[in-house]
Structures are given as C-alpha cells and as structure tokens.
C-alpha cells in the first residue's frame, strides 16, 4: 500500500466504524491498540500493514473488494459534496425554503461523517431567518465535529463557521463578541496552515467592518492596508469590491476626501462589472456623502438619486431611507421645499416599513422643518410632536431637545406665548437630564 492508499483506507475504516456505532475501545484487543487504530484511521504511513488487514477483518471488510468500494466511496463523496455546494448557493441567493427542504432531505441520506457540514448549513439557515440562538448552537456544534468531516476539511469549515458566528453577533450589535469570533477563525487558519486563503480574506474584511462600527478607525485602516497588500490574491469579486468600499469609507472618516473619492470610483467600476447592486449602493452612498462633506451639493444629488434608482435590485432597503433623507436635506438647504418634502415623505414611508426608529424620527423631524420653512406652523408642530414621542421611546434626549426647541419656535411664531413657555420649560428639564448624564464639566 502506498501513502495515498493508506490515507484513503484509513478514512474509509473510520467511516465504517462510526456507521456501526463503535468506539476505538470496542475494536481494540491484545492484537491491536486504540492508538494503532487511531493511527490507521488518520492515515499514518508507518503503521504495520498486517494491523490494517487485521482491523479490516474485525470490521468484516473484504480487502479484495476494497478498490471497488473506495472508487464507489469517492463517487458518493463527490456527489455529496455537490449537494452541499448546491445548498450553500441556495442560502446565498436567499432561496431559504428550498435550502431547508434540501437540508432535511440530505440529513437522512448523509452518513455520520458529514454531521459537521449539516449542522453548519442549518446554522446558516437559522442566521438568514434571524434565529440567533439556534444558529449559534448549530455552528458551535459543527466546529466540534469538523475534524471528522471530509467536506469540512475541504472548505475550511471551522474557520468559515467562525465567520458566520461573528456575523450573527454583529447583527445583534454584539461587536466585541463578533471580533472575538473573527480572531478565532484567523487562529484556526494559522494553526491548520490552510493554503486556500479566501476564507481568511472574508474574516479579515469583516474584522475591518466591525472595528469601524465601534469607532476604532485607525486600527481598521491598518487592517484594510494589510488586506490591500494581498489584494491580487483575492478571488471573490464581492470581497474585492468590499475592500475598495471599506477603504473609501475609512478614508472619508479621516477626511482624506480626494483619496476616498478615487477608491470609491474604482470600486464602483468593479461593482458595475459584477452587477453587484448592494455594493454599488454602498459605494454611491459613500461617494455622495463625500461630495456633500466637500460642499458639492450638485454632485451629491446625482449620487443619491442614482441610489434611489437601485430600489428594485438591493436587499438593504435601509439605504433607500438614508438616500431619501439626504436628498431631502440637500433640497432643504437650497430652499427647494416641495422637492425636500417629497423625499422626506418617502423616507418616512421606508422608516415605517423597516421599523428604523432612529431614521424615522429624523425623517419626521426634517419634514417638520420643511413645514416650518413654509410657514405651516401647526402642521410643523404635529410632525415635531410625533418625532419627540418616538425619541422618548428611545430615550434619545438630544433629539427630544431639538424637537422641543422647534415646537417652542413655532408657538412663538403663532403668538401662543403660554405654549411657547411650556416647551421652553420642557427644554430646560431635558437639558438638566442631559447634563446629569454627561457630567458637569463635559462642555469645558
């Protein structure tokens, strides 16, 4: 037997042992130890071949039929790998019910050696359905079984599971935990010496995203620069586009506007080629924000109007809410009040549909400002009161304060002095609460 044959026989022996529900101890005797059985299963080349034959006889395996069995086993394995890959594609494309039916079907057909992969697929399905605890349980269990699963070893499943665990934590706003999972995934790749680095690049990219979200901008920039050094090795076009998007957004945050614009435009070119509307939306939003921060309202308007044209193609509808709010704000600054009103009304519609409380509060507040600028003070008060009530539910005191200021201003314009004083007093109460939380010397 050559080294390759020993490795293949070892895998097959382990599979048969597990299918029979036997432990190593159940097969060991005075002729063969548990350590030797373990070495055979792991394909250790220096094992005595007589021991291999002895173990096969104990499992009622015919050596003469073994080549035929191994060929069939490899064919079955490739077929199973294809099924797993198909389910992964269903999950990525959002075909969730079809994916779940395929997972149930394959669970009954697959042998015990594929339990890590099946649990991982279930975990990813639960992630897509926002069932966080079930997802975490399945992905964690998958990692405990990964070393016995041939598909897991092929696709770096342990590291990939940490990628998904991190994503689940991120979606629940547990950013520190998300970063811990990322680091564990990178440690697995380092420990196993995995040559295929594509999972590594996904982990590195999401580490940048999570660092940016918690405000560790300089650290995020350092990591994106590390990614940039290996950019020629990145095969996943989606990851490649996101690297450009992240670099642009981080450069914007440190006010390197012209460099940020350059990377945003490069990323847009890649995203157009790939017809990647989600990343296109992010990149055009970043570019529009860059122009807005540079005082170029005309180019910013162009960018955000294009974002709205992607409405039917993007998953993250929250970006449409942001684009409507931003366009409305641009028109409000230019005193184009009817156009501003139109976009704020659309933003409110998206906010109510998506249940984005903070953005909805901003949209209603800004619509109130349009009404005030038009001299429609009673209608403006209605909007500001609604915005203040939403802000109270979130205990967003600074927003409450701004709403009360606008309400007081409207009552002053209407000559209703008693109501003006009422909201002025309410402003004082909210300001006291803000001061008590910020500390006496916060403004010094």
The residue ranges of every structural domain in the chain are 3-63, 91-349, 350-444
What one-character-per-residue DSSP string does 17-79 give?
HHHTT--HHHH--SSS-HHHHHHHHTT-TTS-HHHHHHHHHHTT--TTTHHHHHHHHHHHHHH
Tell me if domain 3-63 and domain 91-349 are identical in fold. no
Domain 91-349 has CATH 1.25.40.10: yes
Nearest partner of 220 among 182, 190, 189, judged by Cα: 182
User: What's the CA gap between 351 and 266, in Å, rounded?
Assistant: 31
Rounded mean pLDDT, 339-346 = 96
| pLDDT-derived band at 392, boundaries 50, 70, 90 | very high
| pLDDT above 90: percentage of residues in the chain | 66
Give the ranges where 254-356 is alpha helix by DSSP (H): 257-274, 277-293, 297-309, 318-333, 337-354
Contact (Cβ atoms closer than 8 angstroms) between residue 193 and residue 187: no
**What pLDDT is attached to residue 443?**
39
> Cα(315)–Cα(319) distance, rounded to whole angstroms?
9
What is the pLDDT, as a whole number, of residue 196?
Answer: 67
Measured CA to CA, the distance from residue 117 to residue 145 in angstroms comes to: 9
Chain centroid to CA 242 = 12
Q: 3-63: what CATH class? A: mainly alpha
| pLDDT, tens only, 178-233 | 999 999 999 999 887 766 688 999 999 999 999 999 999 999 999 999 999 989 99
Q: What is the DSSP letter of 2?
A: -
| pLDDT tier at 442, thresholds 50, 70, 90 | very low
Rounded Cα–Cα distance for residues 280 and 287 (Å): 10
Please identify, in words, the CATH class of the domain defined by 350-444.
mainly alpha
pLDDT of residue 5: 59
- Looking at per-residue pLDDT, the higher value among 444 and 26 belongs to 26
Rg (CA), the chain: 30
Tens of pLDDT along 311-337? 999 888 888 999 999 999 999 999 999
| pTM as predicted | 0.73
> Model confidence over 237-288: pLDDT tens digits?
999 999 999 999 999 999 999 999 999 999 999 999 999 999 999 999 999 9
Give the residue from 263, 201, 212 showing the smallest Cα distance to 238. 201
Helix axis angle, 277-293 to 257-274, nearest 10°: 160
Estimate the crossing angle of helix 277-293 against helix 297-309, to 10 degrees.
160
Rounded Cα distance, 134 and 127, in Å: 8
């Amino acid at each position: 037997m050559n080294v390759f044959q020993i490795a293949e026989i070892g895998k097959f022996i382990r599979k048969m042992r597990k299918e029979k529900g036997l432990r190593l101890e159940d097969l060991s005797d005075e002729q063969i130890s548990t350590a030797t059985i373990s070495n055979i299963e792991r394909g250790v080349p220096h094992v005595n071949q007589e021991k291999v034959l002895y173990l096969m006889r104990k499992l009622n395996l015919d050596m003469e039929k073994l080549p035929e069995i191994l060929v069939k086993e490899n064919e079955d394995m490739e077929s199973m790998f294809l099924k797993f890959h198909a389910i992964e594609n269903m999950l990525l494309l959002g075909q969730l019910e079809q994916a779940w039916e395929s997972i149930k079907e394959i669970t009954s057909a697959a042998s015990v050696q594929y339990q890590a992969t099946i649990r991982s697929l279930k975990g990813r399905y639960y992630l897509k359905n926002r069932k966080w605890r079930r997802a975490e349980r399945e992905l964690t269990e998958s990692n405990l079984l990964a070393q016995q699963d041939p598909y897991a070893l092929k696709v770096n499943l342990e590291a990939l599971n940490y990628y998904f665990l991190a994503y689940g934590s991120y979606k629940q706003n547990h950013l520190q935990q998300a970063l811990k999972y990322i680091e564990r995934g990178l440690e697995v790749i380092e420990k196993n010496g995995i040559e295929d680095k594509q999972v590594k690049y996904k982990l590195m990219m999401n580490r940048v995203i999570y660092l940016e979200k918690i405000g560790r901008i300089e650290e995020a920039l350092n990591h994106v620069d590390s990614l940039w050094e290996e950019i020629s090795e990145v095969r996943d076009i989606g990851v490649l586009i996101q690297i450009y998007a992240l670099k642009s957004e981080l450069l914007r945050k440190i006010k390197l506007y012209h460099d940020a614009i350059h990377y945003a435009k490069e990323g847009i070119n890649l995203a157009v080629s790939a017809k990647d509307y989600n990343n296109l939306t992010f990149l055009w939003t970043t570019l529009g924000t860059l122009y807005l921060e540079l005082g170029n309202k005309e180019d910013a308007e162009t960018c955000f109007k294009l974002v709205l044209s992607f409405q039917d193609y993007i998953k993250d509808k929250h970006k449409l809410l942001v684009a409507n709010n931003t366009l409305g704000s641009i028109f409000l600054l230019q005193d184009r009040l009817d156009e501003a009103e139109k976009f704020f009304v659309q933003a409110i519609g998206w906010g109510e549909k998506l249940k984005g409380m903070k953005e909805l509060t901003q949209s209603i507040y800004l619509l109130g400002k349009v009404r005030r600028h038009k001299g429609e003070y009673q209608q403006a008060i209605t909007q500001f009161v609604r915005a203040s009530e939403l802000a109270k539910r979130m205990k967003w005191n600074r927003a409450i304060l701004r709403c009360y200021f606008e309400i007081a201003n409207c009552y002053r314009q209407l000559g209703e002095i008693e109501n003006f004083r009422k909201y002025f007093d309410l402003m004082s109460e909210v300001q006291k609460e803000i001061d008590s939380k910020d500390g006496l010397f916060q403004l010094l």
